[in-house]
């Protein structure tokens, strides 16, 4: 190892959950704590800045909203796979987070009476998506980072690529990674670790994710012995900009946008007549796919199949004040002005409902390791996440995990030296990747993986396609061992980073596809043509995937159902 560093707390990931936890730990311990914040990108480039439409919270109980209603919407939206005690904790906590951000200075959009504005979102029975125009995640990130500046408690490690999470004697021992600016191999020790490294949507080619979001934290945790939960549930957002996949926020429909097919019909009337375009995302994405398969979509040689998101009836003033980023993006990337021209869209890979298994506090099965945000599965979203519940989850469990870490930190033993065997094994991991020889191309393999996921593990699935996809993923893994890292330099070696990311993506792909093949039902975002109905008798349970060298070993655990029994899901 070139260097060894030590902190009280190490936070892996600098998005909403990571920053919220850092603020909470600093605040609770009155700045008397040493935090290391580790990010593979420059800190304020975390993918959370791309969240657009809003953050769900009950703020207007005087006007008819209620926490029980938010909880019911979330449980029903999850297709009854959410743990209901977790959901109650969530809906009780998030209003406080919204008001706390307000006190910290976030520029929430306000209505004419000065109240914080909220807009409708899919699956919610009340307009509770709290907004800062259509740049909500960006402003939340800025506000948290500004608040963190009050405390001189943290060290930033930007552009630092972690390769291994080290576990010794059943507890957290440290991180090993590459300082990409110097090429040095570095160990970072700590009393406690929070994994807040985001999702794995770059498994897919057509995705809303920044290309840096490759599920590294989830994959490393999996290899370190932490189970991954419910990974077969990957959300497809109904409105990805064609052909790039850039998110066209659900706020477009929350503000009154229409979805149209090639006859001009608002086709959601045939699928969810009560909520129309504001049905839950899994239902809208399936409806769009059915329209395309039935020949009612648009098609172009350049863009492929698509439908239209029509905002033209909203008018220039509403678009410019409530959806300015959407207009900016469509003009910049397609030369289309949504004030006058509908936007081409289709379903796009968007969010990991599954992740590292945690309890209701964010604690994992390994001592002194917590997880929060999209990297974690606290079992809030179940089989389908409602829009605007994601940034809310990051704030809630960033705060909860941060609070718990701060409470326990004084009683934790000082970080011990990393056992030589563990450190050597981690170094060998990178050396072996560097030493690969053969005639395979890792970039071609990454494209092949994404093509497989796009074509066979999409909005609709079936057994033969999933079995074929699983074999292809395993074939690509074998070929990756023959894909050399041509760049031998130490400094900013993106070739090496891409090779390590591909290994992480392959681990997540194998778990996702094998879990989808095993789950013989349709529930939420997991829609199988060969098992088209929900099967509560056999599959009302969470999937747990444990790492073995031969592939994932699956187990299950029950869903916490203590308030609402599952019923047929209609909108």
- Angstrom distance (rounded) from CA 37 to CA 15: 10
- Angstrom distance (rounded) from CA 253 to CA 248: 9
- Are residues 556 and 232 in contact, defined by beta-carbon separation less than 8 angstroms? no
Measured between alpha carbons, how far is residue 248 from residues 15, 188, 308 in Å?
20, 38, 11
Measured between alpha carbons, how far is residue 427 from residues 163, 172, 177, 432, 547 in Å?
9, 18, 9, 9, 20
Torsion angles phi and psi, residue 266, rounded to 5: -80, 90
CB atoms within 10 A of CB 202: 24
Look up 446 and say whether it is catalytic. Answer: no
The dihedral over CA atoms of 42, 43, 47, 52, expressed in degrees to the nearest 10, equals -120
Measured between alpha carbons, how far is residue 104 from residues 142, 146, 233 in Å?
10, 9, 35
Look up 253 and say whether it is catalytic. Answer: yes
Burial of 75 (0-12, 13-18, 19+ CB in 10 A): buried
Sign of CA dihedral 348, 351, 355, 360: negative
- DSSP class per residue in 236-280: EEEEEETTT--B--THHHHTT-EEE-TTS--GGGGT-TTTGGGS-
- Angstrom distance (rounded) from CA 385 to CA 82: 9
The two three-digit tokens of residue 176, written as one number = 């090993």
Which of 253, 260, 322, 519 is catalytic? The answer is: 253
- Are residues 392 and 53 in contact, defined by beta-carbon separation less than 8 angstroms? no
- Are residues 386 and 71 in contact, defined by beta-carbon separation less than 8 angstroms? no
Report how far apart the first and last C-alpha atoms of the chain are (Å, whole number): 57
Burial of 341 (0-12, 13-18, 19+ CB in 10 A): middle
Give the SS3 label for residue 206.
Answer: coil
- Are residues 187 and 2 in contact, defined by beta-carbon separation less than 8 angstroms? no
Which of 88, 237, 327, 528 is catalytic? The answer is: 237
The two three-digit tokens of residue 470, written as one number = 């699983």
- Angstrom distance (rounded) from CA 501 to CA 505: 6
* Catalytic site positions: 237, 253
């Amino acid at each position: 190892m070139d260097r060894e560093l030590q902190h009280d707390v190490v936070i892996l990931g600098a998005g909403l959950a990571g920053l919220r936890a850092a603020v909470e730990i600093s605040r609770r311990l009155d700045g008397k704590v040493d935090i290391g914040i580790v990010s593979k990108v420059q800190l304020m480039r975390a993918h959370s800045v791309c969240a657009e439409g809003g953050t769900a919270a009950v703020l207007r109980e005087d006007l008819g909203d209620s926490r029980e209603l938010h909880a019911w919407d979330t449980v029903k939206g999850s297709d009854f796979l959410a743990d209901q005690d977790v959901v109650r904790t969530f809906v009780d906590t998030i209003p406080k987070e919204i008001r706390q951000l307000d006190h910290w200075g976030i520029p929430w959009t306000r209505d004419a009476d000065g109240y914080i504005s909220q807009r409708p979102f899919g699956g919610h029975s009340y307009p509770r998506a709290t907004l800062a125009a259509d740049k909500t995640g960006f402003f939340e990130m800025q506000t948290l980072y500004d608040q963190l500046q009050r405390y001189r408690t943290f060290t930033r490690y930007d552009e630092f690529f972690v390769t291994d999470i080290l576990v010794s004697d059943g507890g957290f021992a440290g991180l090993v990674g590459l300082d990409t600016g110097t090429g040095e191999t570095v160990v970072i020790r700590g009393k406690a670790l929070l994994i807040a490294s985001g999702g794995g949507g770059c498994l897919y080619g057509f995705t809303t994710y920044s290309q840096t979001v490759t599920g590294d934290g989830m994959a490393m945790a999996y290899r370190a012995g932490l189970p991954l939960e419910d990974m077969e549930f990957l959300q497809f957002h109904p409105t990805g900009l064609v052909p790039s996949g850039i998110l066209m926020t659900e706020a477009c429909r929350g503000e009154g946008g229409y979805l149209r097919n090639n006859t001009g019909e608002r086709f959601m009337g045939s699928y969810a007549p009560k909520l129309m375009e504001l049905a839950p995302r899994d239902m809208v994405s399936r409806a769009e796919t059915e329209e395309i398969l039935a020949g009612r979509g648009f098609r172009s040689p350049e863009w492929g199949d698509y439908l239209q998101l029509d905002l033209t009836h909203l008018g220039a003033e509403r678009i410019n004040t409530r959806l300015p980023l959407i207009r900016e993006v469509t003009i910049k990337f397609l030369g289309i002005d949504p004030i006058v021209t509908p936007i081409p869209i289709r379903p796009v890979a968007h969010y990991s409902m599954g992740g590292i298994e945690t309890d209701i506090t964010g604690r994992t099965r390994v001592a002194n390791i917590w997880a929060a945000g999209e990297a974690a599965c606290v079992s809030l979203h179940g089989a389908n996440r409602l829009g605007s519940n994601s940034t809310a989850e990051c704030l809630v469990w960033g705060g909860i995990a941060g609070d718990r870490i701060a409470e326990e930190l004084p009683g934790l033993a000082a970080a011990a030296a990393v056992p030589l065997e563990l450190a050597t094994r981690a170094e060998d991991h990178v050396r072996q990747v560097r030493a690969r020889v053969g005639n395979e191309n890792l970039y071609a393999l990454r494209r092949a993986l994404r093509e497989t996921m796009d074509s066979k593990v999409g909005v609709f699935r079936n057994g033969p396609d999933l079995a074929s996809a699983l074999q292809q993923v395993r074939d690509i893994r074998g070929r990756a061992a023959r894909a050399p890292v041509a760049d031998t330099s130490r400094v900013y070696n993106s070739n090496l980073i891409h090779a390590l990311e591909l290994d992480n993506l392959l681990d997540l792909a194998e778990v996702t596809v094998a879990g989808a093949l095993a789950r013989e039902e349709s529930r939420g975002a997991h829609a199988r043509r060969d098992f088209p109905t929900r099967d509560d008798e056999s599959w009302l349970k969470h999937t747990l995937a444990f790492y073995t060298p031969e592939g994932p070993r699956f187990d299950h655990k029950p869903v916490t159902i203590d308030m609402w029994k599952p019923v047929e899901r209609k909108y």
